[in-house]
Structure 1
């Protein structure tokens, strides 16, 4: 099995054979009998109604880990709710962790072995501006958290906070891993990797979602049977091939692609979080590779899916997520958390998130493979070194070692490279305070289709969020 080493003087040779496709998902039979390893895990953004409940339950189900879980959040009310819920989850599900909460970041970091990040600087007001200001200039986004004007501005405002966190880790827990779940994933993970010496990895659940979709298409009842050759950048990764019982499923997927149409459903009845897969299968027919992320993410990387002519994506079965949708989800998740705490709702079953399986693989030296975001040391040969890319990596006692993918095909590589270049510019601009460079990156984004409107939009968004003020 060929693996990219921890550093390479040049990208891996395209002649390297791709390693045997991996099972990225948990194998509970491997870990359930292991004696628990003692660790301290700190969850920054621990009051998150969206993330904390499922991560608390996942940790309780991970019997191969034990120790101390510290929830840290700047919102005392949300923190108190999730701390009490976490204590109940551990008690009722038989978890091995003592749960405590604090609003003191430094106190939360002292002694940490793993720091998990689930934050959005500025909260829902900033996210609302990410969506609503571009709409004034004719730019509609379906999500606005990764690319497009919203994703880039979100990156600029979050980088200083995330880098400050990593710098505190250098003082207080220098050997800890920072595990990032926050968007824009590639931008924030890259900023930490170039600005600090902290070990950092980004995690996303889109591949698990794709596996679920393919299981439905193929009539499969269990996870782990489909093996993927896959890589790219977060929310813009591509399956180059996939196998079921050693046989490529791509011929079957190409046949399926011919039948995919938007569902006959009223716009108001469709959830913006749903995925009709029209875009990914249309692109499969054109590019020969299958997008990993949900269509709502993929469309934002191109200029031609979210347009007035496409009814802002609805032609392709994509419904944009509004700021009200974000806030409604937050309220509903908060009510769900309170209902669980009061015994009015059942505690969560295990989710698709892989974070604690990854930690267990490191702690127990299991050599399991996971789909993760790491700096490119050659695992994708035709993307620049040091950029954060999304591929498999092996997790063991030595840490995380990327698995060599080879090259992305020419049907998608130039577009991936464009967005990787923009991300690099945004990170450099933010770390150096170079507003001109940030503006240049902003105007390169494919969703910006009018030069003057793009410049005015950039200025208004920066002013609204207090960015690049001297």
Structure 2
């Protein structure tokens, strides 16, 4: 087979390498072309060198190109994969820093909450540019695979306004299933069957079966509480499981941001999170992790390049959906996964226009979703709160309506639990001004926002959050890695 895959945001080096090696684990795909594109020439050259080394070491005919000219990369592409982070870590730091001044403590801030909503405002204009290029330059009927957060907002914009065949992809369901299989004592993940449905990062395991036997709420609670690690790292998720009756896909830290109950007071935050790793609820945890990862990669790049000389091992193919979707579409080997698409009746008790995440099957005929799923009422209610925020956020990003943007942030569950309307109005003004270079749709609103900020009497505070850690230096990371090796 010979076709072209364009990867936008390919400078996300580690993730691009994973997608690349996964796809080349499909025997029929050895002769395809990968077109890498990114704003950073430096990152592009690093990832191209790694991928070229993989191709050379495995004696493959695979073609790899790299260019900062996105339109050139998209020419003739059958598949387009996006893993962009608009504004990079600089804008992301403001997504965490500014809300903290108003008492809003986020662990990740990339899905909803104040940070996730502003992230969407930066992404959506760019996503629509991608879609325009895909319509004009890619192979007719090209499929857009979006990995970028905020997943639901980006996918919503691409489908509704970009008019491109789009699917949103995430690995939260797989990671949650791996946890469940472990606590239930499964010998392999294949022993666990499940139906998981909801919206991205708020997806619910509504039917669980281990070797065909249905797993109930009480058995699952007991299994998690008995686990020596998860009983401490996932306290909040376990509490939601007890109250809702079903387990959520998302990590302890992520889930805490989407609900109005667990991060509303500093003392409550420290009660529910675990500091053994960033993902369990640390303030700004993902920002710290991302910063350390970038610094580490830059320093240790020669080792990453050397590792690329190893032969491909199909047994190490990851559970990221992209390679499996492409394999099913091109070879008709059926794949079952969980995908982000427009609802349109798939989940009966969620809005029809929402982007949902639910099971589907892929073959030559496309992605075929399982319809008629009904969520437990508490799960649906929680999802609907987020969907309403997502809808307003998408419409604000499209229209450049700063008042609608403020209403979207006001209706966010965690923001609403912490902040007053006056604080929300000022916070949004401050975030829009700080990120103006990435928010072209709000250009006309920025001068008035600056004027309001100069006269505002809303008090803020200099707060690092309830559980903030400093970014570790390369030397600290190296010492920690050495210690782990010696201990293990």
TM range (shorter): 0.7 to 0.9
Is 1:156 the counterpart of 2:130 in the alignment?
Answer: no
Aligned position for 2:207: 241
Which aligned pairs between 1:192-203 and structure 2 lie closer than 5 A? 192-203=158-169
Task: Provide the secondary structure at the position in 2 that maps to 1:38.
Answer: coil
Is 1:329 the counterpart of 2:293 in the alignment?
Answer: yes
Aligned position for 1:469: 443
Is 1:165 the counterpart of 2:130 in the alignment?
Answer: yes
Is 1:221 the counterpart of 2:221 in the alignment?
Answer: no
Q: Rate the CA distance shift 1:116–1:362 in 2: closer, same or farther, 3 A.
A: same
Q: Rate the CA distance shift 1:454–1:404 in 2: closer, same or farther, 3 A.
A: same
Q: Rate the CA distance shift 1:149–1:345 in 2: closer, same or farther, 3 A.
A: farther
Aligned position for 2:461: none
C-alpha distance in structure 2 between counterparts of 1:283 and 1:384, whole Å: 23
Higher-RCO chain (CA-CA 8 Å, sequence separation at least 6): 1
Query: Which of 131, 137, 141 is 2:102 aligned to?
Result: 137
C-alpha distance in structure 1 between counterparts of 2:361 and 2:28, whole Å: 18
Query: Which of 350, 367, 376 is 1:409 aligned to?
Result: 376
Task: Single out whichever of 360-369 and 188-197 deviates more from structure 2.
Answer: 360-369
Is 1:319 the counterpart of 2:282 in the alignment?
Answer: yes
C-alpha distance in structure 2 between counterparts of 1:155 and 1:455, whole Å: 18
Is 2:184–2:220's contact at 8 Å kept on the other side of the alignment?
A: no
Aligned position for 2:479: none
TM-score normalized with structure 1 length: 0.85
Task: Single out whichever of 329-338 and 105-114 deviates more from structure 2.
Answer: 329-338
Q: Rate the CA distance shift 1:294–1:95 in 2: closer, same or farther, 3 A.
A: farther
TM-score normalized with structure 2 length: 0.82
Structure number with the higher helix fraction is: 2
Aligned position for 1:365: 332
Where structure 2 has 5 or more consecutive residues not aligned to the other structure, the ranges are 275-280, 445-488
C-alpha distance in structure 1 between counterparts of 2:294 and 2:257, whole Å: 23
Q: Rate the CA distance shift 1:95–1:227 in 2: closer, same or farther, 3 A.
A: farther
Is 1:400 the counterpart of 2:364 in the alignment?
Answer: no
Query: Which of 76, 91, 100 is 2:41 aligned to?
Result: 76
Is 2:386–2:412's contact at 8 Å kept on the other side of the alignment?
A: yes
Q: CA deviation at 1:297?
A: 1.1
Task: Single out whichever of 402-411 and 347-356 deviates more from structure 2.
Answer: 347-356
Task: Provide the secondary structure at the position in 2 that maps to 1:146.
Answer: coil
Task: Provide the secondary structure at the position in 2 that maps to 1:447.
Answer: helix
Query: Which of 320, 326, 332 is 1:353 aligned to?
Result: 320
Output one character per residue of 1:198-242: Cα deviation in whole Å (capped at 9) or x when no partner: 100011011111122122212223232211121111001111121
C-alpha distance in structure 1 between counterparts of 2:18 and 2:189, whole Å: 19
Give the superposed CA RMSD.
2.1
C-alpha distance in structure 2 between counterparts of 1:255 and 1:94, whole Å: 51
Q: CA deviation at 1:175?
A: 1.5
Output one character per residue of 1:314-357: Cα deviation in whole Å (capped at 9) or x when no partner: 53323231633321112224445531313599688432312111
Output one character per residue of 1:100-128: Cα deviation in whole Å (capped at 9) or x when no partner: 11111010000100000000111110000
Which aligned pairs between 1:2-401 and structure 2 lie closer than 5 A? 37-66=1-30, 67-93=32-58, 95=60, 97-173=62-138, 174-250=140-216, 251-259=218-226, 276-310=233-267, 312-313=269-270, 315-317=272-274, 318-320=281-283, 321=285, 323-343=287-307, 349-401=316-368
Q: Rate the CA distance shift 1:304–1:227 in 2: closer, same or farther, 3 A.
A: same
Aligned position for 1:269: none
Task: Single out whichever of 46-55 and 370-379 deviates more from structure 2.
Answer: 46-55
Aligned position for 2:428: 458
Output one character per residue of 1:239-269: Cα deviation in whole Å (capped at 9) or x when no partner: 11210111112342132244468889xxxxx
Is 2:336–2:362's contact at 8 Å kept on the other side of the alignment?
A: yes
Output one character per residue of 1:184-205: Cα deviation in whole Å (capped at 9) or x when no partner: 0000000000112210001101
Output one character per residue of 1:19-48: Cα deviation in whole Å (capped at 9) or x when no partner: xxxxxxxxxxxxxxxxxx322111101111
Task: Provide the secondary structure at the position in 2 that maps to 1:307.
Answer: coil
Is 2:184–2:223's contact at 8 Å kept on the other side of the alignment?
A: no
Is 2:235–2:272's contact at 8 Å kept on the other side of the alignment?
A: no
Q: Rate the CA distance shift 1:118–1:95 in 2: closer, same or farther, 3 A.
A: farther
C-alpha distance in structure 2 between counterparts of 1:363 and 1:431, whole Å: 34
Q: Rate the CA distance shift 1:439–1:120 in 2: closer, same or farther, 3 A.
A: same
Q: Rate the CA distance shift 1:237–1:43 in 2: closer, same or farther, 3 A.
A: same
